[in-house]
Amino acid sequence: MQRKIKGLPLKTSDEVLSRYRLGVFVTVEFLVRSNGWERREVRGSLGVVQPVKDLAHDSAKIAGKLVLQIPRFSEMELRRAVIEATLVDGLREASLESLTSLRWGIEGVYVPPNFVVLPQTMLERRILGDALPRYVMSNVGVPEKIYVFSTQIFYELRPEGQVIERELWRSRLIQQTLGLNRGA
């Protein structure tokens, strides 16, 4: 992302990442401190549910486009930003009714041509169970086709720091807060 801000060419290949063909969403979050607490604030997210080329290429291109879409995004701001990558796989057709039984924290929803609900969005906005089909219909009407996909989420703990897998479905705090009693 810094390369794009500086006007340098993007690195679109990687020995490991270039082997994978997965959809990917890149999210930029700023770390915001207030009243002694630190929280993450989403500044932008962009991605594809199906791969265009390979994971390295698609991630770089999406990150580059995302940087250009975020207003007033500077190299200085990037220093306090953390990146989250949501890998998308196993796109399969589903029914509106089946959305009530999605595996929360793991599965997402895609309605062509461009409506996507990622698992983390469902949890953050509490769009689970019966609320999910209503949310989809309130945004796109009754969809002709609807797809469900599985995800794997990775994010930086600190800017340019350690990257871990974000296993939302394992969080007891999320389960308790949302009144959930099931995981994967």
Q: How far apart are CA 143 and CA 140, in angstroms?
A: 7
The DSSP annotation for 19-71 comes to G---EEEEEEEEEEEETTEEEEEEEEEEEESS-SS-HHHHHHHHHHHHHHHST
Task: Please provide the average confidence, as pLDDT, over all residues in the chain.
Answer: 85
pLDDT at 5 over 50: no
- For residues 112 and 140, is the Cβ–Cβ distance under 8 A? no
pLDDT at 3 over 90: no
Q: Check whether the bond before 113 is cis (ω within 30° of 0).
A: yes
Interval 93-141: pLDDT, tens:
999 999 999 988 899 999 999 999 999 999 888 898 899 999 999 999 9
Sorting pLDDT into bands at 50, 70 and 90, what band is 181? Answer: low
Sorting pLDDT into bands at 50, 70 and 90, what band is 184? Answer: very low
φ, ψ of residue 42 in degrees (nearest 5): -70, 130
Question: What is the Rg, in whole angstroms, of the alpha carbon atoms belonging to the chain?
Answer: 17
Q: What is the largest CA-CA distance in the chain?
A: 48
The DSSP annotation for 115-163 comes to EEE-HHHHHHTT--TTHHHHHHHHHHSS-S-EEEEEEEEEEESSTT--E
Please tell me the pTM assigned to this model. Answer: 0.83
Among positive and negative, which fits the CA dihedral 12, 14, 19, 24? negative
Residue type, 177: T
Q: How far apart are CA 94 and CA 149, in angstroms?
A: 10
Residue type, 96: L
Q: Which residue has the higher pLDDT, 168 or 9?
A: 168
pLDDT at 14 over 80: no
Interval 27-49: pLDDT, tens:
998 888 889 888 888 888 999 99
Structural tokens at position 39: 């929280």
pLDDT score at 95: 96
Average pLDDT of span 83-93: 95
Q: How far apart are CA 88 and CA 143, in angstroms?
A: 21
pLDDT score at 145: 97
Residue type, 10: L
pLDDT score at 2: 54
- For residues 42 and 99, is the Cβ–Cβ distance under 8 A? no
Structural tokens at position 128: 């689970």
Q: How far apart are CA 184 and CA 180, in angstroms?
A: 12
Catalogue all structural domains in the chain, each as residue range(s) with its CATH number. Answer: 2-178 (3.30.700.20)
